Structure 1
Amino acid sequence: MDDFIIIGGGIAGISAAARLSEHGTCRVLEREAHLAYHSSGRSAALYEENYGSPSTIALAKAGRADWYDFLAGVLSPRGFMLLCLRGEETQFDADRRHMDLTEISMAEAQARVPILDLQEVLRAACSTTAQDIDTDMMLQRFAKLLRRNGGVIETHQSVQAIQKIAGGWQVTCEEQTFTARRLINAAGAWGDEIAALAGLAPIGLTPMRRSVARLAAPGGHDPSTWPMLFGPGERWYAKADAGALIVSLAEETPSPPMDAWPDDHDLAEALARYQDYVTEEVTRPISSWAGLRTFAPDRNLVLGAAPQEESFIWAVGQGGYGFFTAPAASQLVAASALGRKPQLTAEIVAQLSPARFVA
């Protein structure tokens, strides 16, 4: 019997497994052929401490030390810029205050992003603290730690049944059965399904589809040094990516748990919104994809032991914040599984605890 089984090989599962591997035997069960197949492998990850809900911001700040130690080299400078057309001033000012952005002149904005249309874009504000996350490097850093401590990653393991047994859990996949004393549910969009198999009440997770178009570098420019661009209210975003530009509507369309595919209407609307801010004509996308961002009802992450069964640990509901919260989130999950006091404040732990959904 293992000490810990972690269901899900995205960043939430691998980071939690890496932490727990220092305290016992760990086994990660991933249904796909490789790690990070779904949401974690389709993330336009950005690290910005002042982005998200109060509990998300608290997690980002609590994990700060890891970025300069265990995860050194994973971050690289990016920054982001909030843009404003006529009629968007109220939302622009609200976003600027919430994210503590610095307003800059339009001449400075165009110097940073030369394709901005100054006849249409009236205001800009920026952050220089936002950084790109090398998602593959980060995932592999945690996976390496897990393996170094004797942890095992099992791919092609689709969970079919879960049973509570004496001293732990039995997890049955299509061809193999595994047992462990503690079970960590890091199944992302499938989190409620895993809970149901274990005989526990669902939280009410909602997977949301987001479609992304990839454009050739606009006008022959090199966008590699451009900040990430946002419209007020996050109605769209654009971000440099390996010599090209990815553009998204930043939509949240409810979806069943699945291997998501992009929606043509959403892609077209995203490109139309982006076009309103720039001088270069939008070209046909060179590729597109979609991913699922899964939210709890209150849109905070769900991290901690199930109130009905302390040996079942939730690590779900990342809602697009999985990578930049992972350093601290994985520490909280490990503390819950080990029965230790978390490093976060009691108020933040309560905001993240699955106990908040118990009537």
Structure 2
Amino acid sequence: MNNPDIVIIGGGMAGASLGAHLAADARVLILEMEDRPGYHATGRSVAFWEETYGGAEVQPLTTASGSFLATPDADFHDGGFLSPRRTLHIGRAGDEARRDALLAQFAGKVDLQLVDPAALVPGLRPDWTLGVLEASCQDIDVAALHAAYLRRFRRSGGEIRLGTMLVAGRVDGHGWRIETSEGTIRCRLLIDAAGAWADAVAVACGVAPIGIQPLRRTVAQLRVPTMPSADLPLVMDLSERFYFKPEGQGRLWLTPHDESWSPPCDAAPEELAVAEAIARFEEAVDWPIAAVERKWAGLRSFAPDRAPVYGFDPDVPGFFWFAGQGGFGIQTAPAAALLASALIRGETPPFASLDPGAYSPARFR
């Protein structure tokens, strides 16, 4: 497929989900620079669906994605992608303003309840007296969701080329002429779903960058034999200094909620960040750590205002941005892909709760 209608740069969750919709009525080619799709951010997600995560601008996308993730079409996947988790937001004296801001921000949008945190997390240290329960939080089977989107994409006639890097692109009288590491491709529409590389792709195509910044997030898997249950909630610090989530009996995933500047790269965990995470974890609970079993890092890519970027570039109309999903690209993927595919086709956006203008790249020009 050297003359597709549409080329998507990036085969992670963003590119796969949007490609699965567009391939139904267009010839679509995904270019993925790695040897397998989803190698970077998609493959390193902590994998939860939480309506408050990402803030008020992201919540409508997350909420709109929930029903699809819970009960997808039978021809898309056999069963849902979600399993019960819950979130417990915890705080200490001095965190009351953060607790109240959380409640106010999502009043009437997300069901949040004041609770005694010690009643939900045995072993929580006594100074953690503030608790907000977000019962709707679910775990996501990220690998199954990504695979299902790629399966639908291929069934609809889409093609994905692995190990193929975009070198440059330019607009001529026939649309886009794209130079790749494997040769030249022509198309009428170029979609930038390149995650941490989104601005680099834009620059290579003569499009002004938006300022999408990759930020490193470090995660460690701990063996904690005394953790009371694998069914405990995801525990988030109201001060955003850590969160942890059980991952099977006696194991959990822990992050210091770090956001370290990084160039686009194959991110590696920082030892200092792992140490900080453990220190903060030990401030919160009295469960001894038996081992750090593994650690990893991923890049979460944010636009300057931390809201995602979906839409045609106002200066280069044949260039479509589908980027800046931060750390919430998995949980918002279904709604984001439907919204973007509607914008590309010139159709009415599918959700009344979503304002396309809030995500348009025009806000940065």
The TM tier, using the shorter chain, reads: over 0.9
| CA distance, structure 2, for counterparts of residue 131 and residue 321 of structure 1 | 13
Cα distance 1:75–1:164, how it changes in 2: closer, same or farther (>3 A)?
same
| CA distance, structure 2, for counterparts of residue 209 and residue 232 of structure 1 | 20
User: Is residue 31 of structure 1 aligned with residue 33 of structure 2?
Assistant: yes
Amino acid at match of 2:18: A
User: What is the aligned partner in structure 2 of residue 231 from structure 1?
Assistant: 237
Amino acid at match of 1:130: C
Contact 1:95 1:233 in 2 (8 A): no
Which of 175, 190, 194 lines up with 1:183 in the alignment? 190
Cα distance 1:249–1:30, how it changes in 2: closer, same or farther (>3 A)?
same
Cα distance 1:195–1:346, how it changes in 2: closer, same or farther (>3 A)?
farther
User: What is the aligned partner in structure 1 of residue 115 from structure 2?
Assistant: 104
Which of 332, 336, 345 lines up with 1:325 in the alignment? 332
| CA distance, structure 1, for counterparts of residue 353 and residue 102 of structure 2 | 28
Contact 1:34 1:155 in 2 (8 A): yes
Q: Deviations over 1:4-39 (max 9, x none)?
A: 111001111100100101111111111001111111
| CA distance, structure 2, for counterparts of residue 290 and residue 338 of structure 1 | 36
| CA distance, structure 2, for counterparts of residue 298 and residue 347 of structure 1 | 17
| CA distance, structure 2, for counterparts of residue 107 and residue 326 of structure 1 | 34
Structure 1's consecutive aligned runs of 4 or more residues displaced over 3 angstroms after TM superposition are 96-100, 344-347
Structure 1 unaligned segments of length 5 or more: list them: none
User: Is residue 339 of structure 1 aligned with residue 350 of structure 2?
Assistant: no
Q: How does 1:1-359 map to 2 (within 5 A)?
A: 1-67=3-69, 68-70=71-73, 72-99=79-106, 100-106=111-117, 108-109=119-120, 113-117=121-125, 119-219=126-226, 221=227, 223-243=229-249, 244-345=251-352, 348-358=355-365
- The two structures have a TM-score, normalised by structure 2, of 0.91
Amino acid at match of 1:136: A
Amino acid at match of 2:72: D
User: Offset at 1:125?
Assistant: 2.1
Q: Deviations over 1:183-224 (max 9, x none)?
A: 1100011101111111110001111001111101342x4642
User: Offset at 1:103?
Assistant: 1.6
- The two structures have a TM-score, normalised by structure 1, of 0.93
Structure 2 unaligned segments of length 5 or more: list them: none
Contact 2:44 2:298 in 1 (8 A): yes
| CA distance, structure 2, for counterparts of residue 155 and residue 292 of structure 1 | 20
Amino acid at match of 2:222: L
| CA distance, structure 2, for counterparts of residue 191 and residue 160 of structure 1 | 13
| CA distance, structure 2, for counterparts of residue 308 and residue 58 of structure 1 | 28
Cα distance 1:62–1:123, how it changes in 2: closer, same or farther (>3 A)?
closer
Amino acid at match of 1:24: A
User: Offset at 1:170?
Assistant: 2.1
| CA distance, structure 2, for counterparts of residue 185 and residue 198 of structure 1 | 10
| RMSD (Å) for aligned C-alpha atoms | 1.8
| CA distance, structure 1, for counterparts of residue 13 and residue 55 of structure 2 | 20
Would you say how many aligned residue pairs link Structure 1 and Structure 2? 353
Cα distance 1:87–1:218, how it changes in 2: closer, same or farther (>3 A)?
farther
Amino acid at match of 1:76: S
User: Offset at 1:178?
Assistant: 2.0
Cα distance 1:65–1:247, how it changes in 2: closer, same or farther (>3 A)?
closer
Q: Percent identity?
A: 37
Q: Deviations over 1:117-173 (max 9, x none)?
A: 2x3322322111101110001001111110110111111011112122333212222
Contact 1:6 1:185 in 2 (8 A): yes
| CA distance, structure 2, for counterparts of residue 54 and residue 94 of structure 1 | 11
Moved more, 171-180 or 191-200: 171-180
Contact 2:118 2:129 in 1 (8 A): no
Moved more, 98-107 or 119-128: 98-107
Amino acid at match of 1:42: R
Contact 2:122 2:228 in 1 (8 A): no
| CA distance, structure 2, for counterparts of residue 345 and residue 73 of structure 1 | 24
| CA distance, structure 1, for counterparts of residue 327 and residue 116 of structure 2 | 31
